[in-house]
Structures are given as structure tokens and as C-alpha cells.
Structure 1
């Protein structure tokens, strides 16, 4: 059961999640919290409704065919109706979800692709308000109007680092995933995997859509995010993922992700 007493959508969702009957004036179909223990993942599924998903606690990764996002409690992801997605936990987390009828959403929220939004205290307060099951329909409709007004996109870039299919490039990718701080150039990797630097560069470009340098920066940022979420000092995170100083790491993080580390993981935030 959700906190507002409605039946929760099944985890083993099929092509769609049922839409629960509600009053015609109500936009929010369902609000609920779903515990996500460490390492737990939901199967890939889609909804007939738009979904606003956020970590009520902890750190969540949401994968789609259009990208992958690692979300702290300060951020939420708008998932348009029909987009297949798979949430998974990074540590113990709670997935918060709000489902909305596409026909009831204003044009200002007509995002056609997954969109990262800020989950500031005002949005969280509105969500807590909408969870109540004693709201009059008029009061609920007013709150939902305000909800749409405060949905605010943030310039966050997908940091997925696809694994190459070729066994030689894949060997390099997996070694770097195990040790993101390894700074060897492709020429140094070549002898170990049986391919020239030029061949490896071509394989990364054609099989991941990224140059090797771009791919490695994404991998490092992805590896850094759980460490930042744990509250490790920037200097320590920088060393673990291959940067000589906190300032060089912070600059690279901003360039790749679109926010600074402290904007992405605010100090004193929830979770």
C-alpha cells in the first residue's frame, strides 16, 4: 500500500501499469514509496502515465534506452509515458513515484525525453501534501497546479559509459571500471589486449559513440557519484577516480555532468 492508501503498482510490471480510478479533476494518479534495498533492481517496464521518480532516501540509478541517470535526493527524473526504464538502488534507498495523466499535464511539462528536475524542499512539501487522503478535490487540484509550476529542469547530462562489444576494447573498459584512476593511454593498453592504439580508439568511437577520452571521463564521473553521495571529501574522491586535485576533478565534473559536485550533492541534503 502507498502512504495515501492506494494499491501500489506491481513491481513485476508488464508493458503498462494499470491506471487506478480517481476523480476526473485529479491529475496525480498515484503517489507511493517503494523500498529499494542495496543492489535491488526493478525489471525494465513502461507506464501509460508520465512518472516523476526520485530517491526519497539514498541513491538511485534509472536506466533507459535514452540514457542513464544517478539521482541523489536533491534530483528527480521525469519519465514520459511509454518510455521503458529500470530503477536500481545504489545502497539502501527508497524510490518515490508520482504518476500523472498525460492529457491533464500542461504544455510546460510536455518533455518528450527523460528530464532531470530539481527536487527542492518546496517540491517535496507539495508531494507530502498530495499524499494526504483527506484533501478535498478542489484543494488537491490547486496543489497540483502549484506542483506543475515548480517542476524545474536542471542541466544534468547523462553519464552512462556503454561497454564496447569488441573483446579487446571491452577488456580495457572493464579494467578501467575496476580501477577508474588508471591513467594509462591507449598505446599502453594495446599490448595487453592485442590491438593498436588506433584500433582501440576506433572501436571506442564506433561502439560507444564516444572518443576514448570522453568515455573515460564519463566512467570516472559515474564512479565518483556514489563516493560523493557518501560525503567523502572532494580530494579523496578525486584521487580515487584519477584526478590530481579536488579542483581539477570539480572542473571535470562540471564539464561532463553540467553541475558542480556540490550542486549535484548538496551538503546537508536528505538521504
Structure 2
């Protein structure tokens, strides 16, 4: 009966990415989803907690005004009721853990990044199996809860300006972060002076255009780095003159260099 009910739950999840709660006898159900590059589960919410994780590839999860890029070393805890969307930037296998709140000791109320160590990976794979005895499942679930270790992670989410001229510049930079034109040059494109655009970016995004563009470049770099693209190549693609300049900007924004951020062990 337990296996049958969990199979139904996972089947319902796999159809749309939305979860229809069919409680298992344990506390956790694991759903596995093959996601080609660019696949997306659009905005939705669950009545249960979720841990979104890619056993292969890279996930992006948007929630609460932020976006997280998740290589296999990191997962995102999404509390029940939080509206979110999930996508893949490369061919990925998403393994989502769903936690029934009344049986879950974790009480995080906001999206929280957690480290995925080797033992947690193995436990997720074990719980995804079809014939897990009830007693060993209980032990495995207890270990999972004990291994949910939060990471302090800075999200990079440059806000969009509202003024149509500044917004046109922002959209162009988002489409090509390596574009190095300054505000005077952009002003000739959108019909505003460089000084006006500078004022609009500060007033509407809370940061100078240079800082805002730096945030865009770093956000564009994250999926590439997560896929294992070389730092020098990433730096060039997003508009940095040298790899060292890119690494310095990344460290300043995130607190660690790219290699440490995407380390398989998930250290921060």
C-alpha cells in the first residue's frame, strides 16, 4: 500500500510539476523529472515543503523576488505555499523532495539554500527507490533532516528600471551582457542624455549603471560556471576584459571565488 500511494504521488507530480498531496506513510516523497535545456515548470505553489535539487545539470529557481542557480552541490528549500518556478539551463535531472509539514521537523519559513553532500545525495537516491522498507525509510528520513544544512548565499538580482528609456537600455544589456557601450552611447540610441540615464538608473534601481551592469554580467555568468565552462571563457562571454577582473568582481559580490562557490561539496 505504501509503495502504491507513493507511486501515485510521484505520478501526479510528474505530469505538471505541481504536487497533488497524497501523503505517504513516511515524511518524504522523492519525484524525479528529466528536464531538457530550457525546460520550465511555470509559476506554481505546493501545499507541502519542497527541496529542489539537480542530481545532474543545473536548475534555476525563482521565488520571492530572487533567482537561485543550483548546481548538484546545492539545493533550495521552498516552504509550503511559496509561489515559485523552476527551470533548467542545461539537460538536467531534477530530484525534488516533498516534505509533509506535519511530519517535518524543519521549520524554515523562507527559501533557503542547503549544501548537498555525498551522503545526502545517496540518501535521496535511496528514498527514490521503489521498495524501501518502512523501518529503514524512517532512519533514512531522519538522516536527511539532520543533513539539511543552510548556506549563506547572496542572490544576484538586478532590478529593472521603469522609465521606458532606461528599460530599453536594461533589456539590451540583459540580452547581451558583454555590450560595453556607456550611457552616452546608449542615450543616442534611446533618445536621452547620458546624464539623464545615469540619474534614472540610480533612482529606479538603487545603483549606478556600472554597478547594475556588473550585476547583470555576474548573473549571466552563474549558469555558465555551473555547467563547468572555463572561467576565462565565461569572463569573455559576459564582458570582462580579463579573467582576473571577473574573479575579483565575483568574489566581491558573492564572497568567494567561482571555484569555491561551485565546489561539489557545497562549501561556502
TM-score (ref. length: structure 2): 0.86
3-state SS of 2:90 partner: strand
Is this contact kept in 1: 2:54–2:93, CA < 8 A? Answer: yes
Task: Specify which of 5, 24, 28 is matched with residue 7 of structure 2.
Answer: 5
Q: Deviations over 1:167-213 (max 9, x none)?
A: 21122112222332233333442232222334323433444454433
Give the secondary-structure state (helix, strand or coil) at the position aligned to 2:160.
Answer: coil
User: Hey, what does 2:247 align to over in structure 1?
Assistant: 250
Deviation string for 1:89-131 (max 9, x for gaps)?
A: 212112210011223222xx32221111111211101111222
2:47/2:80 contact within 8 Å kept: yes
* Larger fraction in helix: 2
Distance, in Å, in 2 between the alignment partners of 1:165 and 1:172 is 11
Q: Distance in 2 between matches of 1:134 and 1:93?
A: 25
Q: Which residue is 2:22 aligned to?
A: 20
Q: Does 1:131 align with 2:128?
A: yes
Deviation at 1:152, TM superposition (A): 1.5
Counterpart in 1 of 2:169? Answer: 172
Partner-residue secondary structure (3-state), 1:145: helix
The answer to whether the Cα contact below 8 Å between 1:69 and 1:160 also exists between their aligned partners in 2 is: no
Q: Which stretch has the larger CA shift, 156-165 or 121-130?
A: 156-165
Quick check: 2:76–2:111 contact (8 Å CA) kept in 1?
Answer: yes
How many residue pairs match? The answer is 261
Could you tell me whether the CA contact under 8 Å between 2:14 and 2:33 is conserved in 1? Answer: no
Structure 1 alignment gaps of length 5 or more: none
Pairwise CA distance, 1:84: 0.5
Over residues 15-63 of structure 1, what are the superposed CA-to-partner deviations in whole Å (9 max), with x where a residue is unaligned?
A: xx3211322xx211x2011111122111210011110001121111111
Distance 1:267 1:96 in 2: 17
Which residue number in structure 1 is paired with residue 261 of structure 2? 264
Q: What CA distance in whole angstroms lies between the structure 2 residues aligned with 1:79 and 1:131? A: 19
RMSD between superposed Cα atoms in Å: 2.6
**Cα shift readout 1:135-168 (whole Å, capped 9, x = no counterpart):** 3323222221211111112222222334333221
SS at match of 1:232: coil
* Other structure's SS at 1:124 match: helix
Q: Distance in 2 between matches of 1:258 and 1:81?
A: 30
Q: How does 1:137-156 map to 2 (within 5 A)?
A: 137-156=134-153
